[in-house]
Amino acid sequence: MKKLITFMLVIAVVVLFFLFKLEDSESTEIKESNDYVNPNIDIIDKEIQRDTTDYTSPYIYLIDRKTGSVVHEKNAKEKAYPASLTKIMTAIVALEHINDLSETAPIDIDTYKKMVARNSSMAGFFGREKVTYRDLLYGTILSSGGEAANSLAVHIAGNVDSFVQMMNDKADEIGLNDTRFTNPEGLHNENQYTTAFDMAKLLDYALDNGHFKAIFTKETFQTTSTAEHPDGILLESSVLKFLNKEEQNGFEIIGGKSGTTSEAGQCWATLGLVNGHEYICIVMGAPLKDIRNPDRAQIADTLKLYTKAKSNI
């Protein structure tokens, strides 16, 4: 009996010893698990933090003209409405068919009335006013004048429809595969569409034309004297007037074209300089709650994007 009790005590000690070792082993495994650092966490964080900037515009394309490198894109090949960015195509098609910018090209009265009736943005010319092609071009780009754009169309092609065909032919020629135009002024039409990618490609093409670049980068322009406007009209860039140098730290936006409709939202196409490089920045579709009191989110996005371009050099 004494031997049996001794044997049972030995067995109990052995069992307790193994139970203690097992508990200690589990505790150690838990500690090792809690202290474990995933070697990929830093990489994952860097991927997430690569660009945490909050952009309002749903369609964005920012490219270095010299190198062709894309700095930032967002839904760049998705369909968007161009609004008055359309006038970039209007101006370059017109320029390629004008021999003398000083030639008189009066405001077309029929399209003038249509633009007034549709509440288009206007440069300020009157119907039949005897302005020049140069006046029309600056009125189209700087002031986004619907009467200027349509007058260019009529004088170049004879009528608006024929000019629109020229716009679409040019789009095909330079490879704008997701772009179609129905008018030269940019008023909304569901069949007039583009992408941020195509718009950047169009602007890059247009900027190779010296006359276009001069117009696109002009801050103000005084039109020629006419009977209706003896002192001419002071036209002002619808982009550059909203910018100041304090906002442009390390870069400079030197030209641009704006576009706004309820359907298209707030759009900007700009040319900027960063460390000697020219950049094209397209932002489109920033929501527009009140067209009379826009929040100008496209401007905030544009400034953020040029800041990003600066940091990437």
Active-site residue flag, 84? yes
Distance CA 192, CA 93 (A): 17
CB contact burial 42-77 (16+ within 10 A = b; e otherwise): eeeeeeeeeeeeebbbbbbbbbbbeeeeebbbbbbe
Selecting among 84, 143, 151, 237, the annotated active-site residue is 84
The pTM assigned to this predicted structure is 0.84
Distance in angstroms (rounded) separating the CA atoms of residues 284 and 194? 10
User: Over its length of 313 residues, how does the chain's per-residue pLDDT go in tens digits?
Assistant: 444 444 454 455 444 444 434 344 333 332 333 332 333 323 323 332 356 689 999 999 999 999 999 999 999 999 999 999 999 999 999 999 999 999 999 999 999 999 999 999 999 999 999 999 999 999 999 999 999 999 999 999 999 999 999 999 999 999 999 999 999 999 999 999 999 999 999 999 999 999 999 999 999 999 999 999 999 999 999 999 999 887 899 999 999 999 999 999 999 999 999 999 999 999 999 999 888 899 999 999 999 999 999 987 6
Catalytic-role residue among 74, 87, 201, 308: 87
Total Cβ atoms within 10 A of residue 297? 18
Q: Report d(CA 141, CA 58) in Å as an integer.
A: 24
Q: Do residues 198 and 167 lie in contact, with contact meaning Cβ atoms separated by under 8 Å?
A: no
Taking a C-beta distance cutoff of 8 angstroms, is the pair 132, 168 a contact? no
- The domain segmentation of the chain, as residue ranges, is 56-312
Point out the catalytic residue in the list 120, 121, 143, 144. 144
User: 56-312: which CATH topology?
Assistant: Beta-lactamase (3.40.710)
201 is an annotated ligand-binding site residue = no
User: Is 69 assigned a catalytic role?
Assistant: no
Planar angle of CA 274, 81, 124, nearest 5 degrees: 80
